[in-house]
Amino acid sequence: MNVMQDHKKLTPDDFISEAAPGVTQHHVEAIARKKSLTPGVDAGPGKMAYASRQHIYPKAAKGTFRNVKWAIMAFTLGVYYLVPWIRWDRGPGLPDQAILFDFAHQRLYFGPLEIWAQEFYYVTGLLVISALGLFLVTSVAGRVWCGYACPQTVWTDLMIAVERFWQGDRNAHIRLDAGPWNFERIWKKTATHLSWLLIGLATGGALVFYFRDAPTLAVELFNGTAPSVAYAFLGIFAFSTYLLGGIAREQVCIYMCPWPRIQGAMLDRNSLLVSYREAIGEPRGPHKKNQSWEGRGDCVDCKACVAVCPMGIDIRNGSQLECIQCALCIDACNEIMDKVGRPRGLIAYTTEHNLASASAAPREGLKLLRPRTILYSAVIALVCGLMGWALYTRADLEISVLADRNPQYVALSDGGLRNGYTIKISNKTEVVRKVRIAVSGIPGIATSMIGFEGSDPVIEIPQADVRAVKLFVTLPRDARGKLHGTSTPLDITVTDTTSGVNSARHTSFHGPEHDRHHDDKHGQEKKDQDKKDRDKKDD
Amino acid sequence: MASDKHFDEVTGTETTGHVWDGDLRELNKPLPKWWLYVLYACIVWSIGYWAVYPAWPTMSDYTKGYWNYSQRAAVTQEVADAKAAQDKYRVALSQTPLADVGKNPELLQFALAGGQATFGENCAACHGRGAQGGVGYPNLNDDDWIWGGQLDNIQQTISYGIRSGHAKTRDSAMPRFGLDGALDAAKIGDVANYVRSLSGLEADKTAAGRGAAVFAENCAVCHGADGKGNQELGAPNLTDGIWLYGNGQENVVTSISTGRGGIMPAWDARLDPVSVKMLAVYVHSLGGGK
């Protein structure tokens, strides 16, 4: 027996049965019900390989958590839609959008921060912090992310609100769906789906603004001159918003999302979870006027908690994979408890620890500081610290040094040795910079660069660009005694000639094994042998 | 029917009815039907590939598909596009005198990259991937040049080769002093000692003294009276620290006895002038260019 079958035989009586004086009993069964635990419910045909989706008609909830969810929805959607429009002056020739992912030029702009493609580890750091943050809040208060802030939840919530606007709340919606395909049903359905598509378009439309100057792109999108990739992504996100938020809804959380499976590892007996407090609620049953509350539970079995649940579960069956912890059942139940004059909190944020005792208040003896939460916090602090340090010490002039490996060194005709290095100099500022390269660490060395005159040339690096130069470091024959074995430390420093800002890298100067050139007796033979060995290696 | 049903005690979920090892049961958690429909949709979608892409072999050919797609054609097109993109630089390179390539950083960068690729395909077989050479194959990184290390010297060597048979090839022949009987073993030994002493290697002073006269008589005409060589004739400098065929006494004796004369092919027929130009710039940039 499923809900769809229920509607076919709905009678007006179905909507007036009472769980308590003035409290309607909802005719609703949890979609993901645990059949044998729900007394009196037929377990259905059973042994199905595939199950039909049962449509959920969540009833509108009113109360504290609903208000919190509205506020979070307004905030997150506001951030999502408005952020691309915030401006940030970076000077001429540069984008003035505060947050911009400029893939074409391989730059990410976050306000004053400009991240280059090779610095993508900052984004990795951000993702690591986000993941750890998720772990932390989950261990403290369960799936807060799922219940309040996940885009799937926020957009589904918005889609459901729109659906209610056109088709009415739960009962009206059920009646409409059970009725014939008349004009009223057709236009209400059309209006709902059109609204969803418009929301989808707005979602996809806002997304592309993060990747290209928003005011420019907005005009381009309307007059048809925007890049085709912008239209493609707009289309993809419009469609997926419509599909996942409007149509698929809870199916995404139950069947597609890995997070419900992972979260179990972060919870413990002290985590705050939306729970039905069985010790207070049972035995449940409808409550008659003037009936004593002695010897029975507070639950009047009105099923308001099931009716409001967007996931279609019965929270009274305990912790379930499907539960996104949105707390709407708390609002629904508190409203009923107020009506029947019993204390609020039959469904509440409480810990497994407190659930075991009938007398414990929901958050009695709450332990926020546990090894788990302390560890998560410590790791978050550590990663934040590392990121902060990396950002603080982030240089706008940077070099990378790559020592030639083939050949590692070159013997010169006068008996000297030469090493080659490829040096990449990044200028992360918006002005042309003039730099000099200095090499230190071995006395007597000389340098030269391909494409430049003299031993200490000034190199121009265009604004926001990288320049690669080939540096040759030569060690004269009589200074070869200064080498320590095959590899001698060498420091290469690049210095801005105007500001004095510099960036240094540590590298090595390579020479032959057991260099005895300064002892001329065997020097040449040895060198010759080394050359042969080297050739063998290179082969 | 009801008697067939079995529910797991812990979760309250119906099981599939299968039992293994007497008590092991599987919970029945049916997939949603839409999941199945997505699978069917994917199958239908994949059939579309048969229609638009090459798919089925036929007796002598294969089905070409509606889009007539071919990876070979695609890569040919990509290569053509890449060539077209290079045209701007190749034209500029062909019009720029060799000596001026280095003055244009953009052109230099293109020539170095192109030269490196061409080197890897054509030259690395003998000179090594890093142009480090080997016995008999000169190291192009160092500052010792047999036929000259200026840009135009290098370009000429690459174009026409050395003893390549090309009309404009670089050519010279070192006599086989020992094999042809011009010098006896004792004199060869003496002159080898003298040659080694020129670059500061350990040598028998008396023998070297005798060898000086032999050198002046037989070798100086090409290698110079001071032994510093002659790049016009491809006669190596014998006073420096670089020895193409080894600097041991026996190596030098062999060189004098049998003569030396490496061969390098002419590349002008195999490489276009722009590629040769890029190669010359690249080889010159390896560090020893004059």
Name the amino acid, one letter, at A3.
V
Distance from CA of B125 to the nearest CA of A (A): 10
Contact flag A420-B129 (C-beta cutoff 8 Å): no
Tell me the pLDDT of chain A averaged across its residues: 84
pLDDT band at A41 (very low <50, low <70, confident <90, very high): very low
- Eight-state DSSP code of residue A488: E
pLDDT band at A40 (very low <50, low <70, confident <90, very high): very low
What integer pLDDT is reported at residue A43 of this predicted model? 45
Residue found under tokens 């308001």: A304
Contact B49/A at CB under 8 A: no
Q: What are phi and psi of A418, to 5 degrees?
A: -135, 140
- Cα A447 to Cα A416: distance, rounded to the nearest angstrom: 13
Q: Which of A65-74, A177-186, A388-397 has the lowest mean pLDDT?
A: A388-397
- Mind spelling out the 3-state secondary structure of chain B? CHHHCCECCCCCCEEEEEEECCCEEEECCCEEHHHHHHHHHHHHHHHHHHHHCCCCECCCCECCCCCCCCHHHHHHHHHHHHHHHHHHHHHHHHHCCHHHHHHCHHHHHHHHHHHHHHHHHHCHHHHCCCCCCECCECCCCCCCCCCCCCHHHHHHHHHHCECCCCCCCECCCCCCCCCCCCCCHHHHHHHHHHHHHHCCCCCCHHHHHHHHHHHHHHCHHHHCCCCCCECCCCECCCCCCCCCCCCCHHHHHHHHHHCCCCCECCCCCCCCHHHHHHHHHHHHHCCCCC
Contact A535/B at CB under 8 A: yes
Q: How many CB pairs under 8 A join A and B?
A: 129
Contact flag A414-B240 (C-beta cutoff 8 Å): yes
What percentage of chain A exceeds 70 in pLDDT?
89
Contact flag A50-B288 (C-beta cutoff 8 Å): no
Q: Which residue of A has its CA nearest to B146?
A: A413
Contact flag B241-A415 (C-beta cutoff 8 Å): yes
Q: Kindly give, in sequence order, each residue whose CB lies less than 8 Å from that of residue B285, ignoring residues fewer than 6 positions away.
A: A450, A470, B112, B115
What integer pLDDT is reported at residue A514 of this predicted model? 61
Contact flag B141-A51 (C-beta cutoff 8 Å): no
Delineate the domains of chain A, giving CATH numbers in brackets. 397-538 (2.60.40.10)
pLDDT band at A276 (very low <50, low <70, confident <90, very high): very high
What integer pLDDT is reported at residue A528 of this predicted model? 55
Q: Please compute the mean of the pLDDT values over residues A409-432 and round it to a whole number.
A: 89
Distance from CA of B19 to the nearest CA of A (A): 14
Contact flag B142-A414 (C-beta cutoff 8 Å): no
**Which pLDDT tens digit goes with each residue over A306-326?**
999 999 899 998 888 889 999
Closest CA to A118 of A467, A402, A426: A426
Top CATH class of B151-285 equals mainly alpha
Contact flag B12-A538 (C-beta cutoff 8 Å): no
β-strand partners of A273: A350
Q: Which of B36, B129, B240 sits opposite A50 (nearest CB)?
A: B36
Q: Which of A36, A527, A538 sits opposite B130 (nearest CB)?
A: A538
In this predicted structure, the answer to whether residue A531 has a pLDDT above a threshold of 60 is: no
How long, in residues, is chain A? 539
Contact (CB, 8 A) for B131 and B119:
yes
- Cα A332 to Cα A62: distance, rounded to the nearest angstrom: 7
Contact A321/B at CB under 8 A: no
Q: Which of A50-54, A142-146, A213-217, A372-376 has the lowest mean pLDDT?
A: A50-54
* Strands in A103-213 per DSSP E: 107-110, 113-116
pLDDT band at A16 (very low <50, low <70, confident <90, very high): low
Q: Which of residues 67-86 of A touch B (CB under 8 A)?
A: none
- Cα A449 to Cα A384: distance, rounded to the nearest angstrom: 41
- Mind spelling out the 3-state secondary structure of A39-87? CCCCCCCCCCCEECCCCCCCCCCCCHHHHHHHHHHHHHHHHHHHHHHCE
**Per-domain boundaries in chain B:** 151-285
Q: Which of residues 149-208 of B touch A (CB under 8 A)?
A: 199-202
Percent composition of chain A: helix, strand, coil (DSSP 3-state, to 5): 45, 15, 40
Q: Which of A48, A255, A413 sits opposite B143 (nearest CB)?
A: A413
Contact flag B32-A520 (C-beta cutoff 8 Å): no
Distance from CA of A525 to the nearest CA of B (A): 7
- Eight-state DSSP code of residue A252: I
- Eight-state DSSP code of residue A142: S
- Cα A63 to Cα A120: distance, rounded to the nearest angstrom: 43
Q: Which of A73-77, A211-215, A354-358 has the lowest mean pLDDT?
A: A354-358
pTM: 0.72
- Eight-state DSSP code of residue A113: E
> Which residues in chain A are closer than 8 Å to B288, comparing Cβ atoms?
410, 412
pLDDT band at A293 (very low <50, low <70, confident <90, very high): confident
Residue found under tokens 């649940």: A309
Contact A524/B at CB under 8 A: yes
> Which residues in chain B are closer than 8 Å to A405, comparing Cβ atoms?
130
Q: Please compute the mean of the pLDDT values over residues A81-85 and round it to a whole number.
A: 92
Q: Which of B134, B143, B285 sits opposite A412 (nearest CB)?
A: B143
Q: Kindly give, in sequence order, each residue whose CB lies less than 8 Å from that of residue A328, ignoring residues fewer than 6 positions away.
A: A58, A61, A65, A66, A69, A308, A309, A310
Q: Kindly give, in sequence order, each residue whose CB lies less than 8 Å from that of residue A223, ignoring residues fewer than 6 positions away.
A: none
Q: Which residue of A has its CA nearest to B240?
A: A413
In this predicted structure, the answer to whether residue A260 has a pLDDT above a threshold of 70 is: yes
Query: Tokens in use for A297?
Result: 């539970």
**Which pLDDT tens digit goes with each residue over A196-224?**
999 999 998 889 999 988 888 999 988 88
Closest CA to A321 of A257, A369, A403: A257
Contact (CB, 8 A) for B36 and A50:
yes
> Which residues in chain A are closer than 8 Å to B12, comparing Cβ atoms?
34-37
Closest CA to B122 of B97, B96, B159: B159
> Which residues in chain A are closer than 8 Å to B199, comparing Cβ atoms?
524
Q: Which residue of B has its CA nearest to A471?
A: B287
Q: Please compute the mean of the pLDDT values over residues A429-442 and round it to a whole number.
A: 89
Q: Which residue of B has its CA nearest to A451?
A: B102
What integer pLDDT is reported at residue A539 of this predicted model? 46
Contact (CB, 8 A) for A412 and A474:
yes
> Which residues in chain B are closer than 8 Å to A47, comparing Cβ atoms?
4, 14, 16-17, 28
DSSP string, A378-421: HHHHHHHHHHHHHHHT--SEEEEEEE--TTS-EE-TTS-EEEEE
β-strand partners of A466: A426
- Cα A185 to Cα A199: distance, rounded to the nearest angstrom: 21
What integer pLDDT is reported at residue A36 of this predicted model? 41
Q: Which of residues 85-144 of B touch A (CB under 8 A)?
A: 102, 105, 108, 128-130, 132-135, 139, 141-144
**Which pLDDT tens digit goes with each residue over A239-252?**
999 999 999 999 99
Q: Please compute the mean of the pLDDT values over residues A257-263 and round it to a whole number.
A: 87
Q: How close are the terminal C-alpha atoms of chain A, in Å? A: 76
What integer pLDDT is reported at residue A116 of this predicted model? 84
Q: What is the dihedral of CA A287, A291, A293, A299, to 10 degrees?
A: 0
Contact B255/A at CB under 8 A: no
What integer pLDDT is reported at residue B146 of this predicted model? 94
Contact flag B31-A49 (C-beta cutoff 8 Å): yes
- Mind spelling out the 3-state secondary structure of A317-362? HCCCCCCCCCCHHHHHHHHHHHHHCCCCCCEEEECHHHHCCCCCCC
CA atoms within 13 A on the CB side of A345: 15
Q: Kindly give, in sequence order, each residue whose CB lies less than 8 Å from that of residue A154, ignoring residues fewer than 6 positions away.
A: A72, A73, A76, A77
> Which residues in chain A are closer than 8 Å to B14, comparing Cβ atoms?
35-36, 43, 46-47
Distance from CA of B25 to the nearest CA of A (A): 13
Name the amino acid, one letter, at B83.
K
Contact flag B132-A538 (C-beta cutoff 8 Å): yes
> Which residues in chain A are closer than 8 Å to B237, comparing Cβ atoms?
413
Q: Which of B13, B142, B285 sits opposite A411 (nearest CB)?
A: B142
CA A407 to chain centre: 46
Q: Which of A47, A411, A527 sits opposite B16 (nearest CB)?
A: A47
Contact A477/B at CB under 8 A: yes
Q: Per-residue confidence of chain B (290 residues) as pLDDT tens digits?
A: 445 677 888 777 778 878 899 888 888 878 888 989 999 999 999 999 999 999 899 999 999 999 999 999 999 999 999 989 999 999 999 999 999 998 888 899 899 999 999 999 999 999 999 999 999 999 999 999 999 999 999 999 999 999 999 999 999 999 999 999 999 999 999 999 999 999 888 889 999 999 999 999 999 999 999 999 999 999 999 999 899 999 999 999 999 999 999 999 999 999 999 999 999 999 998 888 88
Contact (CB, 8 A) for A251 and B37:
no
Cα angle at A448 between A445 and A449, to 5 degrees? Answer: 145
Contact A333/B at CB under 8 A: no
Reported ipTM: the value is: 0.75
> Which residues in chain B are closer than 8 Å to A51, comparing Cβ atoms?
30-33
What integer pLDDT is reported at residue A319 of this predicted model? 83
Task: Count other C-beta atoms under 10 Å from residue A332's C-beta.
Answer: 28
Residue found under tokens 């802030």: A149
CA distances to A52, A232, A236, A249, A408 from A203, rounded to whole Å, are: 30, 13, 10, 16, 55
In this predicted structure, the answer to whether residue A38 has a pLDDT above a threshold of 90 is: no
Query: Tokens in use for A507?
Result: 């590298």
Q: Which residue of B has its CA nearest to A468?
A: B109
Q: Which of residues 229-248 of B touch A (CB under 8 A)?
A: 237, 240-243, 246-248
Q: Which of A64-68, A430-434, B55-59, B94-98 has the lowest mean pLDDT?
A: A430-434
Q: Which of B32, B199, B241 sits opposite A411 (nearest CB)?
A: B241
> Which residues in chain B are closer than 8 Å to A43, comparing Cβ atoms?
5, 7, 14
- Cα A2 to Cα A52: distance, rounded to the nearest angstrom: 10
